[in-house]
Amino acid sequence: MTKSADTHCPYCALQCAMTLKSPAVLTPASQPGSVPVPAEPAGKSPALNAPLLAAPLTVSGRDFPTNRGGLCRKGWTSATLLNHPGRVTEPLLKGLDGIHRPIGWDQALALVTTAVKDTRAKYGADAVGVFGGGGLTNEKAYMLGKFARLALGTSRIDYNGRFCMSSAAAAGMRAFGVDRGLPFPLADLDNASTIMMLGSNVAETMPPFVQHLKGARDAGGLIIVDPRRSATAAFTSDGGGIHLQPQPGTDLTLLLGLSHVVVHENLADTRFIEERTSGYEAVVRSVNSFWPERVQSLTGVPAELIREAARRLADGARKGGSYILTGRGVEQHVDGTDTATAAINLSLLLGLPGSGRSGYGTLTGQGNGQGGREHGQKADQLPGYRKITDPAARAHMAGVWGVPEETIPGPGLPAVQLLKSLGQPDGVRCFLVHASNIAVASPDANSVIDGLRSLDFLVVCDFFMSETAAEADLVLPVLQWAEEEGTLTNLEGRVLRRRRALQPPAGARSELWIMARLAEALEAPSTYSEDPETVFEELRLASAGGLADYSGIDYAMLDRGEAAYWPYPAGSTGTPRLFLDSFAHAHGKAVMTPVTPRRRRTPAANPDSGATTMTLITGRLMEHYQSGAQTRRVAELLATRPEATLQIHPAAAAGVGITEGSFVSVANERGEVVCRAELSTAIRPETVFLPFHFPELESANRLTEAATDPISGMPEFKFNKVWVRLAANPVLDSPRNSILQTTEAS
């Protein structure tokens, strides 16, 4: 008899609903060959005590508002990794010979405890650092922030969400007073007549999302802004809408041009502006000099297309609803916060936010990218989206945790600065990494790897031997998504239940268990539970009264399938649509902030006359996710996209003798990538595109700069100068899978 369990996909923030099925159902005690482990013990929710499925599992899509039964290739193959032969199933300690060998949990925890104590004694508490991830459940993200600040006593904690949501978050906070990716349910897009999407290729990154674009496309109102003619941009053909194809790094200028048209053609919603916003006059002055013909000269987008797009947005707002959506393509810049602010200003000029049938939103990327940035693993935040420098917030958390307020450290370093401090005399010397493959995913990756290697002690919690885990002194095996309980918050701000369906390997442990044991060994103040529901109950108290208030949500209501959009104060019914009555600033209005493009750093001169200087943008492929640490282990996905390829325009390629499939060198002062060329007219002639899922000689982040947005700390991933030429010594046997092969062979 087939048994099943309902849960959500482990990958992106769309959090598609899925059902896991197996031909039998087994309890932990009855599963053949299993050894009961203290990972995620039974709690108060009936779901925690449910019988478990037997591997192997099959996956099917489940009807849910975001995916409506659909899944992408990654979702369909997600169960493959649950019994993968490369799984790390016991603690691994690196020897002097560089080989990782199994040790017991008691020894592993003792090593971490000693390393932390020794580091604090020699260098101070801030010499211990923690790096989290947007894939952690809300419970783990919350506990990681608490563990770092109280058990370790350090301010040095940040997470990989700094790389993908921080600019949009900063812009949302200063405009609206709160940051929730989509302040409306995703299904609201279905009724829109116009949708403008900037810097996001959802057709490849979130394929089930595209069904929500159909109404706008059928109405001829889909506007896609992207330097490439991506799979999403292709939906605008045959009357489906408009593709605006600016030069990389000019999105802010383009948005100012669109706002200029709205203001000077009297398309703005003057009543909305007067009643619900502040700062209008300053914004008008800031856009006056960005008339369409000037913007055309700066961006390469024809002036008439700029006018057409602005008019279409305004017409949609009046008639059938308009939405402006931003993604990483316009936010991962040194002016990313200002660019997102310009998009928000445009939406406010048109009266979109809070109207109930139009809106502005930003597309969260990681599975728990939204919840992961709300509850304390950011360098400057406490749970509930509270500022760590706010005396009232600190007093609240001290009360919840039962500690003196002065026990809680102040703000730490954002991710790029934190990584730059690794191994430095006054920096981090002992580093704990959770749910992040920073050796591949970080800007200027070569420098990050050097930093990891210079640490006194590196601990990585992972379920595979990622490129970062391979650098670790100690690897701690943790649970995968189908082996744990918890909650995540999707791109709409909807809190969802992750349900345990499968017994984990005997040696794997939950991060909650690890933190609880280490806190005990370190004699930390407060309490640290390994039970996810108990942790969630504490999170409810911690978030109460904050911007991201979860106090009215509990496991029982989520198990019943009730929709739970934060803020959800106790006694309320939640908030599916923000801003209907007011914005989150004290005066209730949205704040319009004038912004202007800033000059970028001049790149180093091209040292090679045989190379051409190009602008590199990085991004995702349909088959892979983030650093590829998981998807490169799925045979079906790797077979489809086994290597990185450089997308380059044929005209640019011809100038340096590059042909389809040629091995090319892509280099700058930070490093070099060697990969094959993919010729395509879908990209601008001065631009090249490289996916960031691959390691070593194919790692795009060898080339990206660790320059950051001064407000958000977001790195410059989407605008880097490179020199492209034929590879002098083609690498015929790419090392892209060396970590995978080594792990599985061992």
pLDDT digits (tens, 9 = 90+) for 172-213: 999 999 999 999 999 999 999 999 999 999 999 999 999 999
Is residue 142 assigned to a domain?
no
Read off the tokens for 330: 């316009």
Q: Which of 60, 83, 106 is the last residue of a domain?
A: 83
Instruction: Say if residue 182 is in the same domain as residue 312.
Output: yes
Residue 416: pLDDT band by 50, 70, 90 thresholds? very high
Residue 165: pLDDT band by 50, 70, 90 thresholds? confident
Q: Distance (Å, rounded) from C-alpha 744 to C-alpha 89?
A: 12
Q: How many domains does the chain have?
A: 3
Is residue 143 assigned to a domain?
no
Q: Distance (Å, rounded) from C-alpha 339 to C-alpha 359?
A: 17
Instruction: Say if residue 207 is in the same domain as residue 354.
Output: yes
Instruction: Say if residue 78 is in the same domain as residue 180.
Output: no
Full-model pTM: 0.94
Residue 53: pLDDT band by 50, 70, 90 thresholds? confident
Is residue 529 assigned to a domain?
no
Instruction: Say if residue 74 is in the same domain as residue 182.
Output: no
Q: Which of 334, 363, 392 is the last residue of a domain?
A: 363
Q: Tens digits of per-residue pLDDT, 529-545?
A: 999 999 999 999 999 99
Residue 31: pLDDT band by 50, 70, 90 thresholds? very low
Indicate which CATH number applies to the domain containing 272: 3.40.228.10
Residue 35: pLDDT band by 50, 70, 90 thresholds? very low
Is residue 604 assigned to a domain?
no
Residue 65: pLDDT band by 50, 70, 90 thresholds? very high
Instruction: Say if residue 224 is in the same domain as residue 356.
Output: yes
Residue 722 has pLDDT above 70, yes or no: yes
Q: Which of 363, 393, 427 is the last residue of a domain?
A: 363
Indicate which CATH number applies to the domain containing 632: 2.40.40.20
**Mean per-residue pLDDT for 221-242?**
96
The residues pairing with 382 across neighbouring beta strands, listed in sequence order, are 386
Instruction: Say if residue 192 is in the same domain as residue 51.
Output: no
Is residue 639 assigned to a domain?
yes
Q: Distance (Å, rounded) from C-alpha 345 to C-alpha 209?
A: 25
Instruction: Say if residue 69 is in the same domain as residue 178.
Output: no
Quote the Cα angle for 40-43-44, to 5°.
Answer: 160
Instruction: Say if residue 78 is in the same domain as residue 182.
Output: no
The phi-psi region of residue 164 (left if phi > 0; otherwise alpha if psi is between -120 and 50; otherwise beta) is: alpha
Indicate which CATH number applies to the domain containing 79: 2.20.25.90
Q: Tens digits of per-residue pLDDT, 424-440?
A: 999 999 999 999 999 99
pLDDT value at position 24? Answer: 63
Task: Give the residue carrying structure tokens 């058990």.
Answer: 151
Is residue 326 assigned to a domain?
yes
Q: Distance (Å, rounded) from C-alpha 273 to C-alpha 279?
A: 9
Residue 312 has pLDDT above 70, yes or no: yes
**CA dihedral sign of residues 681, 301, 593, 177:** negative
Instruction: Say if residue 74 is in the same domain as residue 181.
Output: no
Instruction: Say if residue 223 is in the same domain as residue 322.
Output: yes
CA distances from 656 to 68, 362, 653, 724 (A): 47, 39, 6, 8
Instruction: Say if residue 79 is in the same domain as residue 176.
Output: no
Residue 447: pLDDT band by 50, 70, 90 thresholds? very high
Is residue 351 assigned to a domain?
yes
What's the DSSP call for residue 151? Answer: I
Helix (H) or strand (E) holding 647: strand 645-648
Q: Distance (Å, rounded) from C-alpha 479 to C-alpha 456?
A: 26
Q: Distance (Å, rounded) from C-alpha 718 to C-alpha 616?
A: 7
Is residue 352 assigned to a domain?
yes
Whole domain around residue 645: which residue ranges?
Answer: 612-745
Instruction: Say if residue 179 is in the same domain as residue 48.
Output: no
Q: Distance (Å, rounded) from C-alpha 178 to C-alpha 350?
A: 20
